Structure 1
Amino acid sequence: MDFPARIDVHHHIVPPVWAETLAERGMNSGGWAIPAWSPESAIAMMDEQGIATGIMSVTSPGVYLGDDADARDLARTVNEYSAEAVKDRPDRFGHFASIPLPDTDAAVAEAAYALDVLGADGVVLMSNAHGKYLGDPDFEPLWTELDRRAANVFIHPAQPPMTLLPGTPAPLVDYVFDTTRTAVDMVLNGVMDRYRNVRVILSHGGGFLPYAAYRFSGVIPTVVGQDRKAEDALRDLKRFYFDTALTASPSALPALLAFAEPGHVLYGSDWPFAPQEAGSYYNYFLETYPDFTPGQAQAIDRGNAEALFPRFAR
């Protein structure tokens, strides 16, 4: 691989106002501390990890912290901060705009502003919006708008509406579960069938979706209804894209590659919430994986993302 080459679709930004707002409310990311971030530290990491461009997003809990008006203001401030970072280094950064769900009207308005005015490369949604999953009928106006624009949608896990395991932060176990839960919810509620212009990227290899996809598709006709066909469920599950953040391991990577459609696996780092040492750990597995088909490694590193984000194509 020529360095730097990778396009990192799971690359976090920590806008100061967002970090300060969480600190004032005694909040963090599901029990995970909020790390420091700067453009300079991001680029230094990217240079060392062979990353040409990081498409930035704000992580869980997102911008909706319980109040509609506050969420609208925070989303706008966060998105404008991110857009300025991209403006300063358009070769090294892109960004997914934060959306204030579950306030659907505000979410639609902010998506339009971010995509039209700020030039965002897509939007980031949390896997659940205060307990409402992304297949919820209340979110139909947002999916309609995103589909009309053929938008890229990055889904990041959030803390599920359940008690954490004692002493266990949500990113360790619950994030994996919540990603899978919202993906199945979207399929069962027809989001992936109705809105075929939207490209939806699931974080962390889709949780355990690739491993359990045939369990879901095979059981859906029995537990949901005979009118739901296994092959239809499987088709919709395969519409998802997946990033490799914390997932390029000897056990997970074969399952992901066996399930994902060609072109649907993208590189992700999860920096700075996953420190650089973790990035090196998973990069090693990715770089030494013995069973890639010709060109597959380069496609994961860059080519598949170029198809979704043409402005980064060389």
Structure 2
Amino acid sequence: MDTSSNRIDIHHHFFPSSLSRHVGFRTPPENLPWSADISLCAMDSLAIGLAILSLPAGVAETFDEAKNANKLMYEIVQQHQNRFAFWGSLGDWRDVKGALELIPYVFDELGAVGVAVSSSYGDGSEAKYIGDDEYDPIWSALDARGAIVFVHGTQTPSTTPIPHPTLGLPITAVPHETFKAAAHLVVSGKTRRFSRLEFILAHMGGSTLALIPRVAGLSSYMGAPLSENEIIYEFRRYWWDAALSGGCEARVVESWGLGDRVLWGSDFPAVSLDTIRWFDCDLEKAYQADPSKLENVHRRNVLRLFESRGITAALSSGPS
């Protein structure tokens, strides 16, 4: 591992003390109960200068819970200058009024670098993906700010929620939920309508990369308002978070000519340091012929994104 790199980790979770979810996945016991100090130790081990905190998808969904979680993340940022930033939470988007009220709070009062959103809100047949027209007022308010939006798949059970004890929702459901949200935003015309937004897809978009041609060909055939080439163009506007992703995904992104839109993430504390290093080793193999591209993934790409939005939180990140 290249410990000389001062990485920016865009996918680093804030785990509230009240977090208790049963999704068929075991958070490393050494990471619980989570604290900023646990993350700082991990960050030093992984050569992470700055970690951008976000709530796990589906956590703190009421207005009061979201407001309190934002405040707690802000306090961590203040207590550890230049080591943390955070993605704001707008709670459950079905409470459109509440989400709209939280936008100026997280940006203007607390200084969030952007917002983290779940792929959908609600359960079962009542769930609505983030491209739903109901959420247009939220998208409009975020678009007016030219916000960065970090999209993370929800841990939504399918008809067979956990096919095997080692295949919990974070493994089998989250990657596909991210894809469904990304595809919905494209074919509904939301990425084009709210064009000032920048979208980052967690975990290299989950299954998105493999399914872009399928969406382009079949959704256009089914009456989507965009042509095949227009759909592909909109997918190419996404940014790709490399958390828990390896060389295979990196090579696909490179083949699309999108290597300058890959950002590094760890997904700590949901996974162990050894797991992060395993994915890292595979990712490094994809860039071994051009180490400068790996440095771009580790830091420069996100700095370029932030600078384009006037965000200075990460520009002097990390220990001197």
Give the TM-score of the pair, scaled to structure 1. 0.89
User: Please, what is the CA RMSD of the aligned residues?
Assistant: 1.9
Q: How does 1:182-193 map to 2 (within 5 A)?
A: 182-193=181-192
Distance 2:68 2:246 in 1: 34
Mark the CA change 1:184 to 1:43 in structure 2 (over 3 Å): closer, same or farther.
same
Encode CA deviations 1:142-200: one digit per residue, 9 max, x unaligned: 11011111111111111236331344421011111100011001111111101111111
Other structure's SS at 2:170 match:
coil
May I ask how many residue pairs the two structures share in their alignment?
A: 298
Mark the CA change 1:156 to 1:129 in structure 2 (over 3 Å): closer, same or farther.
same
Output the amino acid matched with 1:158.
T
Other structure's SS at 2:260 match:
coil
* CA positional deviation for 1:33: 4.9
Other structure's SS at 1:272 match:
coil
8 Å CA contact 1:30–1:61 kept in 2: the answer is no
What's the counterpart of residue 151 of structure 1?
A: 147
What's the counterpart of residue 67 of structure 1?
A: none
Distance 1:97 1:184 in 2: 23
Distance 2:271 2:33 in 1: 12
Distance 1:4 1:294 in 2: 11
Distance 1:304 1:117 in 2: 27
Other structure's SS at 2:137 match:
helix
2:232 paired residue among 212, 231, 234: 234
Structure 1 residue 214 and structure 2 residue 213: aligned? Answer: yes
Q: How does 1:264-303 map to 2 (within 5 A)?
A: 264-290=261-287, 293=290, 295-303=292-300
Distance 1:209 1:8 in 2: 21
* CA positional deviation for 1:291: 5.7
Mark the CA change 1:290 to 1:216 in structure 2 (over 3 Å): closer, same or farther.
same
What's the counterpart of residue 87 of structure 1?
A: 78
Other structure's SS at 1:309 match:
helix
Encode CA deviations 1:28-57: one digit per residue, 9 max, x unaligned: 163335643111110110111111110000
Distance 1:9 1:186 in 2: 21
8 Å CA contact 1:60–1:126 kept in 2: the answer is yes
Encode CA deviations 1:88-146: one digit per residue, 9 max, x unaligned: 11311010011112211111111221111011111110111112101000000111011
Output the amino acid matched with 1:15.
P
What's the counterpart of residue 12 of structure 1?
A: 13
* CA positional deviation for 1:62: 2.3
What's the counterpart of residue 254 of structure 2?
A: 257
* CA positional deviation for 1:61: 1.7
Distance 1:29 1:204 in 2: 21
8 Å CA contact 2:239–2:261 kept in 1: the answer is yes
1:50 paired residue among 24, 37, 47: 47
Distance 2:42 2:119 in 1: 27
Give the TM-score of the pair, scaled to structure 2. 0.87
8 Å CA contact 1:13–1:82 kept in 2: the answer is yes
* CA positional deviation for 1:202: 0.5
8 Å CA contact 1:8–1:267 kept in 2: the answer is yes
Gaps of 5+ in 1: 65-70
Structure 1 residue 105 and structure 2 residue 102: aligned? Answer: no
* CA positional deviation for 1:296: 1.3
* CA positional deviation for 1:288: 2.9
8 Å CA contact 2:6–2:48 kept in 1: the answer is yes
Q: How does 1:191-210 map to 2 (within 5 A)?
A: 191-210=190-209
* CA positional deviation for 1:261: 2.7
Higher relative contact order (CA 8 A, sep 6+): 2
Distance 1:46 1:60 in 2: 22
Output the amino acid matched with 1:270.
D
What's the counterpart of residue 178 of structure 2?
A: 179
Gaps of 5+ in 2: none
* CA positional deviation for 1:285: 1.5
Mark the CA change 1:83 to 1:287 in structure 2 (over 3 Å): closer, same or farther.
same
8 Å CA contact 1:211–1:256 kept in 2: the answer is no
Output the amino acid matched with 1:242.
W
Mark the CA change 1:294 to 1:218 in structure 2 (over 3 Å): closer, same or farther.
farther
Q: Which moved more, 1:44-53 or 1:165-174?
A: 165-174
